[in-house]
Structure formats: C-alpha cells, structure tokens
Chains A and B, each alone.
Chain A
Amino acid sequence: MVLTMLFIGIAMVASLGNYHKLVSLHRPLGIAILILAVVRLINRMFTTLPPFPATMSQWERRVATASERWLYALMLALPLVGWGMLSAGNYPIVMFGPVHLPPILPANPLLYTVLRKAHTVLAILFFLTILAHLTAVLFHTLVMRDGLLNRMVPWPVRSTKTNPNSNSQPK
C-alpha cells in the first residue's frame, strides 16, 4: 500500500495527463495509511513479536528493530507532512465527494516550502528503506532460507535449514 502510494506520488508529479486523478487518489489513500499506521502502532504496543531466527546476529537484530521504528515513524510522518503542506499552501484538503479535512497549519509560504521539500525527501527515504527491507527479507528467505518471513506473514514459509549455522561452511 505504501509502495503503491510512492508510485502514485512520483508518477503524478511528472504527469501532465493524469495529475488530477492520481492526486485525488493519493490524498485519501495517504490519510488511510495514517489511520492504519496509528491502529497498527496501538496494536503493536499490546503484542509481543515472535523471536528472531538464530541466523540473525546481534547487530542484524538491532538494525531490524531500529528499522521497524523508522518505518513506523515514516508511516506517520509522511501523511502528516502531506496534510500539513497542503494546509500551509492554502489548499483545501479534499478527500472524496464533499468530504474534506480541516487545515492543520496556518497558510505560510516558508512552512509550505519546507514541508513540500520534506514530503519529497521523506518519500525517497521511505522508498530506499523499503528497498533495503525488501532486500534483507528476500536475502533471508531466498538465500539463507531461515524462514525469517514466518515472523511477518500469517502463512507458513518453508525453511530448508534445520541447522542455521550450516551457512557458515566454506564455499
């Protein structure tokens, strides 16, 4: 969903033909992500995570935990910045039909400029983070085959390793 949003966002600002359709979809989807992120965050606070697979070293676990926090931060920050920048740019924040959101910031050129830039920078960081996350997960699943994906998805993923240390044998 976030990835879809990143694609819609990056495509619409380069589009002379479909901007309106895309941005009209982008705004309510972005707000939906904000709501979902809040729900997930609350949910996350009340659940314990499955343990890390043994193939993950101490630093990998630390990175995984930090990157999870970072993803949550972005999921909250990016839509808030989007909402804020439209407010500061004196734009109405149209959702769908007659439904629109109130501005959360006063109209202000400097504020608009800063938030508009932040929206782009955070979105690109988000994309890079997702790529990194994707790489790590794919690496664990397809190369190390340690069943890391089991921590994330509700269906079982086959782990071909019974002994996680077997990966350290010489090539």
Chain B
Amino acid sequence: MRKGSIAGFAAVVAIVAAVAVLFAYAAGWLSPGKLTPGRFVDRFKQVSGRHPGFRLNHAKGLCFAGWFDSDGQGAALSRATIFQPGRVRVIGRFSLGGGMPYQADKANTVRGLAISFMPAHGEEWRTAMINLPVFPFATPQAFYDQMLALAPDPATGKPNPARIQAFFAKYPESANALKLIQSQPVSSGFENSAFNSLDAFRFINANGETAWVRWSMLPVQPFAPAGPAHPQADTNYLFDALIASVREHPLQWHLLITIAQPGDPTDDATIPWPSDRKQVDAGTLTINQVESDDTSPARDTTFDPLVLPDGIAPSADPLLNARSVVYVRSFTLREGEHKSPAAVSPADAEK
C-alpha cells in the first residue's frame, strides 16, 4: 500500500472511532458515576421492591373525571387556552406517595392530585401536585439520596439515626422544609386537602409578558383535622372516604395562582413564598366521578409536569427536568409490564 493510503486508512479509522466514542459519551455510557434516569429507576425498585405494572412512585391511587370551569381571570397571566372563560374536560388521579401499590392508607403519607386538562381546541396541560406546603428536597440528588437515607435500614427494619443525621447535615434546606411541613396540620382526607404545584413555573400572557407563579388547588370542602390512627384492617380508609364523599356530591377545588415578587426563589421548591403574595382564582375544578386504576385511562397516562400548553413554561427548578424524564421512564417501564389489580378495585369505586 502507498504511504498516502496508510495515512488515509488511519484517518478513516480515527474519524469513525471518534464519532462512535462521541455517541457513547452522549449516551452517558462513559460516565457511570453520574446520576441518571436509569439510576433513579433502580433506586425506586431498591427501596419499594418491584411491583410490575405500577408507577414507581405514587403507586396506589384512584382515578377521576370531571371538569374545570375557568372564570377567565387567569387569562391576564397566561395565554393558555384553559384560562379562557369556559369549561374544560379533565381526568386525573388521587394517590399516596411511595412505590408500594398495596400500602395501608395513613394520614401522614403524602397525598397526590394529578390532573390533565383537555381543552377541545388547544393544548393539554398536565400537573401533579401534593398536599405539602413545600417540597422537602431541593435537587434531584437530594431526592435520590433521601430514598435510602430516610428509609428503614434493611438490617434492623428501623430508621438509621446516623444516616438520617448525615443526610440533614448535607442538605440543611431539607431539615428546614420538614420543620415547616410538620408544623402544618394534616386534613382528614383527600376531599379536604389542598394540593400544591411547589415547583415554580413561568406564565406568559397574550402580550408576551411573563410572571413567575406557583399554583394550588384549594378545597371547597371544609377543613377537618386528621383523626387518631386508623385500625390496621382498614387499609383503604382514605380512598373509601373519598369515594363516599363523591357519591354524596361532586367535590370542588379552586385553582389559585400565586404570583412571585422579584427575589422570590423560583428554582427551589423547599422555600415557601411570603404569604402576602398576590393570588388569582382562575376557576373551579369539579370532580363528579371516580374510577379504579384498573379501568381508567388516567392509569395509562403519565402526569409529566412538563406537558405544558403554550402560555406556561418551566422554571429553572432542577426538579422539573428530572421529574419529566423519570416519569417517562416509569411510564415506559410499567406500560410494558403485565398489570396486576389495583388496591382500590372497580368494585370499591362503585360502592
């Protein structure tokens, strides 16, 4: 072979190898230490066990259908179709935090409310909220670390004080957030819980003006404090009470948009905004129907918090991106698995 050919041959090998290595690098195959969606999935499985067909988190739930009546007041803040005056169909899901689909209901378990707003013309909006006033973890890494640090030690079955202490030393914002969370009374059930977006988002109105916001669903049903611990046998008592109250009358929540002032943190869900911030009541959510996970289309939906219509955009809160990609992973995983019956069965939902 001529000299030029050898150099050429070397160049071919080098170029092709470079492209391949770049690809492997982009895929994260060369940086195994990095926190990735895959490692989140593994850790969820590690702490909750495998429950094929169920969500990796908020595994136990009850789906619903209803509507949202917009009063038009949100339109000054966001050009999203749902804030135009009028009625929008919704489906959604109530849930309990944790990856165990058959866990017994407890008053202190985190309660979730996930909603998909589906305007007839215009884009869908999905949001997943919880009943805490702030989120206990500021970053995906903190969330990932607490899954092991705050879980019972597999060796003893009890929380491990040394690990817990080390966790809060590393993440002092989590200690502050938990103090605030524990200072607030928990309500008696799903039907009189307030649910909060916690992460901040950006609203953009028809003039292109931007506002930083968080939102909440405030129950019309009056607050009652959670009672004493329930007998162990009554494993679905929160969901049963929810089903019974929907049977009595449709349940309602107000969508309250809280507007940040300059300086309010928009990238840290562990810090509350001052209570005097302006709030706009954008309309009323009405839930008139509940349905078991086994039969509802809400089961085969992931309430990815970044499914947003034009007029709502993400903030720089690092939780949002992580949530989006991990929810999709969890969804892809569970959609490919055989489905087991949900704890709250179709018969329960018919009661």
Known A-B contacts: A15-B28, A20-B314. Give 4 more (CB < 8 A): A10-B26, A11-B26, A23-B324, A160-B4
B125's nearest neighbour on chain A, judged by CB, is A92
Closest CB in chain A relative to B80 CB, distance in Å? 9
Among residues 313 to 334 in chain B, which have CB atoms less than 8 Å away from a CB atom of chain A? 314, 318, 320-322, 324-326, 331-332
Among residues 81 to 99 in chain A, which have CB atoms less than 8 Å away from a CB atom of chain B? 89-92, 94, 97-98
Interchain CB contact under 8 A, A142 and B12? yes
Interchain CB contact under 8 A, A107 and B297? yes
Contacts of B322 in A (CB 8 A): 16-17, 19
Interchain CB contact under 8 A, A100 and B123? yes
Chain A proximity mask over B100-127: 1 for CB below 8 Å, otherwise 0: 0000000000000000000000111000
B166 on the A face (CB < 8 A)? no
Q: What DSSP secondary structure best describes chain A's contact surface?
A: helix
Interchain CB contact under 8 A, A16 and B8? no
Interchain CB contact under 8 A, A131 and B314? no
A127–B332 CA distance with the chains assembled, in angstroms: 23
A3–B23 CA distance with the chains assembled, in angstroms: 10
A23–B325 CA distance with the chains assembled, in angstroms: 10
Interface size class, chain B: 35 or more
Chain A proximity mask over B19-42: 1 for CB below 8 Å, otherwise 0: 110110011100000011110100
Interchain CB contact under 8 A, A98 and B310? yes
Q: Which of B180-188, B216-224, B257-265, B301-309 lies at the interface? A: B301-309
Chain B proximity mask over A11-38: 1 for CB below 8 Å, otherwise 0: 1111111111001000000000000000
Q: What DSSP secondary structure best describes chain B's contact surface?
A: helix
A65 on the B face (CB < 8 A)? no
Residues in B lying within 8 Å of A, measured CB to CB: 1, 4-5, 7-9, 11-12, 15-16, 19-20, 22-23, 26-28, 35-38, 40, 122-124, 140, 297, 300-302, 304, 306-307, 309-310, 314, 318, 320-322, 324-326, 331-332, 335-336
Among all A-B residue pairs, the 10 with the closest Cβ atoms? A142-B8, A14-B28, A113-B336, A19-B325, A98-B310, A11-B26, A143-B8, A109-B335, A138-B12, A10-B27
Interchain CB contact under 8 A, A20 and B335? no
Interchain CB contact under 8 A, B16 and A112? no
Interface size class, chain A: 35 or more
A122 on the B face (CB < 8 A)? no
A4–B15 CA distance with the chains assembled, in angstroms: 16
Residues in A lying within 8 Å of B, measured CB to CB: 3, 6-7, 10-20, 23, 89-92, 94, 97-98, 100, 107, 109-110, 112-113, 116-117, 127, 131, 134-135, 138-139, 141-145, 160, 171
Interchain CB contact under 8 A, B140 and A16? yes
Closest CB in chain B relative to A163 CB, distance in Å? 14
A86–B263 CA distance with the chains assembled, in angstroms: 38
Interchain CB contact under 8 A, B19 and A134? yes
Contacts of B37 in A (CB 8 A): 13-14, 16
Interchain CB contact under 8 A, A143 and B26? no
Interchain CB contact under 8 A, A14 and B11? no
Interchain CB contact under 8 A, A139 and B12? yes
Interchain CB contact under 8 A, B28 and A90? no
Contacts of B325 in A (CB 8 A): 12-13, 15-16, 19
Contacts of A97 in B (CB 8 A): 310
